[in-house]
Amino acid sequence: MFIKPAHVFFMYFFVASLILAADLREKRILFIDVDGVLNNANSRIDESFVVEDDCLVNLKKIFDQTNTEGVLSSGWRTNQEGKKFLKKKFKEKKIPLWVGETPVDITNKRANEIFSYLTDRFTNNEKYKFAIIDDLELIHFGDNTDFMNGHFVFIDKKVGLTEKDVQDVINILTK
């Protein structure tokens, strides 16, 4: 029996669409800090809000390669002017705007805020993957930080988000 090239194409297309559909059912969330992640120690300090283009380019690579939704976990989420500035920069670089923000925890522990976001947003039956990028060692900023094991990428605030960090995040979100 001879298989026509058109049949091969349609079989390939069918299998690829099944894989994509399965991929879309599993949500991917990236918790984004700003200071020390999207800017660095060399950033201009004479301005209230600063992000570095190279860090934004690296962030965009994560979104482009993972079909991820962003959640703002940075202290910037409580500052309207900061969020306005960040939205402008995201639009300029064609980075998808974040879909949510972590709640503000009265203890100001970021890990608790991220945990609350996940438990409030997802049921036990929903499949999701998440990654956290932050320049704070969040293990010290929460009551229960075990949920972060294998999901946290520590960013060196001296340089901000690097190519290596991007690859680490992509690995977490696509494994």
Q: Which amino acid is at 131?
A: A
Averaged confidence pLDDT in the chain = 87
Q: What is the pTM of this model?
A: 0.83
Beta carbons of 149 and 134 less than 8 angstroms apart = no
Q: pLDDT digits over 109-158, tens only?
A: 999 999 999 999 987 778 899 999 999 999 888 888 899 999 999 999 99
- Per-domain residue ranges of the chain: 26-174
Q: pLDDT digits over 1-20, tens only?
A: 556 655 545 555 554 444 44
How far are the Cα atoms of 6, 29, 81 from residue 3, in angstroms, in the given order? 8, 42, 61
Beta carbons of 129 and 161 less than 8 angstroms apart = no
The percent of residues in the chain predicted with pLDDT above 90, rounded, is: 69
Q: pLDDT digits over 16-73, tens only?
A: 444 444 445 689 999 999 999 999 988 876 678 999 999 999 999 999 999 999 999 9
The secondary structure element, H or E, covering residue 19 is helix 5-25
What is the Cα gyration radius of the chain? 19
Q: Determine how many CB atoms are found less than 10 A away from the CB of residue 169.
A: 26
DSSP label of 163: H
| Topology of domain 26-174, CATH | Rossmann fold (3.40.50)
